[in-house]
Amino acid sequence: MLRGPAMFRIDFNKLRFLVCDDNPHMRRILRTLLHSFGAREVYESEDGATALEMYTHYVPDIVITDWSMPIFDGLELAQMIRQPESKGNPFAPIIMLTGHSEKRRVTVARDAGVTEFLAKPISAKGLYQRILNVVANPRPFIKTKTYFGPDRRRNTSNAYIGPERRVGGEVEVLQQPSLLDKARSSV
Amino acid sequence: MANDKRDIEIKAFADHHVITQPNPLRKVLRRVTETDHDDPVARAEKALAGLSGEFKKWMAIEADRLSAAYTVVLKHGFTDETREELFRAAHDIKGDAATFGYPSAGAAAESLCRIIEHAPDLEKVPSELIVYHINAIQAIVRERTKLDTVSTASALSRQLRGVADEYLMQVNRDRPEHLEAILAPSIAPAD
């Protein structure tokens, strides 16, 4: 739970979720957690292909997907959603919930346009925090020749040493102000 | 609550575009007073605890799925399909077992996943190495109710991981990208 000078909650009953996991036990756990948070609309799919159809049909606000699945996996699902010219919504937050816990996997998921990565074992707190983060702290989207998705730079660091990979002027990233920061500054 | 593309702002740079839009989800964020003691995380944890009566049965189903996947491997050898199903069954246990109260089974399954992922030729992996992992997972799941099994299960999964890592480092000594992945620390907290 958020604590501090201003406290915020998510009205889960206004959010529509799409959960994609081939394991029925994990889907049951996710459904239980989301309903306990207060969500009413939770759509479920057991593979990426069906999830993509449901994504177009139900227009969910947040997608929670496993990585490893039959037909096409969660990574491919993220890539299919992140098509800037598609008729559907290419901006929906995607939370990847997976048993893969290696750093290189996180990088691959990030490069596919995944918004948040949550390594299993799942916890109520971990899931809540990821949802809170995508609701309250959206990142701008970046489109390059090879990437379309949330800004992969979460922080700007003066200590960064290495080649500048983006070209184009002094201000390269427009920060979308965090709702939490905005609200706190107005208190 | 889908995005309205008319509100999207696009700023073009030499090699990329920065796209911003009003947050379509801002309406679901609600300020509450400090006297509001509703705790959705605690509520969800309680609901999860309510499901825990099912966990032993679910874990047994997952362990049996793993055994069945290996039975198919023994019958047909390692094909793309049989390898995939064995990996997925082990990977599901790796991800779910700690939630179900069997962290040592999850650790043993992780070790098995590493073998499947990084062995250069699965047909050459000593069958005992795979069988010991599967038997250990089955034993941890079936014997969990005995008082002395928690530390035994933990020691067993640690030993299996040690043997598996030694094997993987040996067979990947000329494959630096796999060696790097084998030695890289996990980002997930250890149980």
Options 1.10.3470, 2.20.25, 1.20.120, 1.10.287; CATH for B53-182 is 1.20.120
Per-residue model confidence (pLDDT) at position A174: 41
Yes or no: say if B41 and A128 are a contact pair by the CB < 8 Å rule: yes
Per-residue model confidence (pLDDT) at position A175: 45
Yes or no: say if A113 and A81 are a contact pair by the CB < 8 Å rule: yes
* CA pair distance B6, A8, nearest whole angstrom: 29
- pLDDT-derived band at A6 (thresholds 50, 70, 90) equals low
Q: Where are the domains of chain B?
A: 53-182
| Chain segment B15-36, per-residue pLDDT in tens | 888 988 888 898 899 888 888 8
Yes or no: say if B47 and A35 are a contact pair by the CB < 8 Å rule: yes
Yes or no: say if B161 and B113 are a contact pair by the CB < 8 Å rule: no
B188 contact residues in A (CB cutoff 8 A) = 101, 119-120
**Hey, what amino acid is at A130?**
R
Residues 99-158 of A with CB under 8 A from B: 99-104, 106, 119-122, 124-125, 127-128, 134-136, 138, 140-145, 151
Per-residue model confidence (pLDDT) at position A55: 96
What value of ipTM does the predicted structure carry? 0.86
Q: What is the mean pLDDT of residues B107-120?
A: 96
Q: Where are the domains of chain A?
A: 12-153
Tokens 């604590």 — which residue?
A3
Per-residue model confidence (pLDDT) at position B30: 87
**Best mutation site among A103, A120, A129, A166 for testing chain B: the one with the most B CBs within 10 Å?**
A120
Q: What is the mean pLDDT of residues B116-145?
A: 93
Yes or no: say if B113 and B97 are a contact pair by the CB < 8 Å rule: no
Yes or no: say if A96 and A71 are a contact pair by the CB < 8 Å rule: no
Q: What percent of chain B has pLDDT over 90?
A: 64
Q: How far is B35 from chain A (nearest CA, A)?
A: 10
pLDDT greater at residue A88 or residue A76: A76
Per-residue model confidence (pLDDT) at position B183: 87
| Chain segment A25-61, per-residue pLDDT in tens | 999 999 999 999 999 999 999 999 999 999 999 999 9
Nearest to A61 among B25, B32, B106 (CB): B25
* CA pair distance B68, B64, nearest whole angstrom: 6
Q: What is the mean pLDDT of residues B110-136?
A: 96
Yes or no: say if B51 and B41 are a contact pair by the CB < 8 Å rule: no
| Chain segment A114-147, per-residue pLDDT in tens | 999 999 999 999 999 999 999 998 999 999 989 9
Work out the mean pLDDT of chain B and round it to a whole number: 89
- pLDDT-derived band at B2 (thresholds 50, 70, 90) equals low
Work out the mean pLDDT of chain A and round it to a whole number: 84
Nearest to B29 among A8, A16, A22 (CB): A8
Q: Tell me whether strands A62-65 and B9-12 are parallel, antiparallel or unpaired.
A: unpaired
Question: Does residue A160 surpass a pLDDT of 60?
Answer: no
**Hey, what amino acid is at B34?**
E
* CA pair distance A138, A177, nearest whole angstrom: 8
* CA pair distance A31, A122, nearest whole angstrom: 12
At residue B97, φ and ψ (nearest 5 deg) are -60, -40
**Hey, what amino acid is at A17?**
F
Tell me if chain A has a CB within 8 Å of the CB of B7. no
List the structure tokens of A66.
């496993």
- pLDDT-derived band at A85 (thresholds 50, 70, 90) equals confident
pLDDT greater at residue A74 or residue A179: A74
- pLDDT-derived band at B49 (thresholds 50, 70, 90) equals very high
Per-residue model confidence (pLDDT) at position B9: 85
Q: What is the mean pLDDT of residues B97-125?
A: 95
Per-residue model confidence (pLDDT) at position A177: 47
H or E, element range at A141: strand A141-143
Q: What is the mean pLDDT of residues A76-90?
A: 90
* CA pair distance A17, A58, nearest whole angstrom: 9
Q: What is the dihedral of CA A72, A42, A96, B107, to 10 degrees?
A: -90
* CA pair distance B51, B35, nearest whole angstrom: 30
- Statement: A12-153 belongs to CATH 3.40.50.2300: yes
A12 contact residues in B (CB cutoff 8 A) = 28, 40
Q: Mean pLDDT lowest for which of A73-87, A161-175, B8-22, B61-75?
A: A161-175
Nearest to A24 by CA among B51, B43, B69, B68: B51
pLDDT greater at residue B191 or residue A42: A42
Q: Is B140 helix (H, G, I), strand (E, B) or coil?
A: helix
Other residues' Cβ atoms within 10 Å of the Cβ of residue B114: 21
Per-residue model confidence (pLDDT) at position B51: 95
Residues 52-91 of A with CB under 8 A from B: 59, 61-62, 68, 70, 89, 91
Question: Does residue B127 surpass a pLDDT of 50?
Answer: yes
Q: Tell me whether strands A141-143 and B17-20 are parallel, antiparallel or unpaired.
A: antiparallel
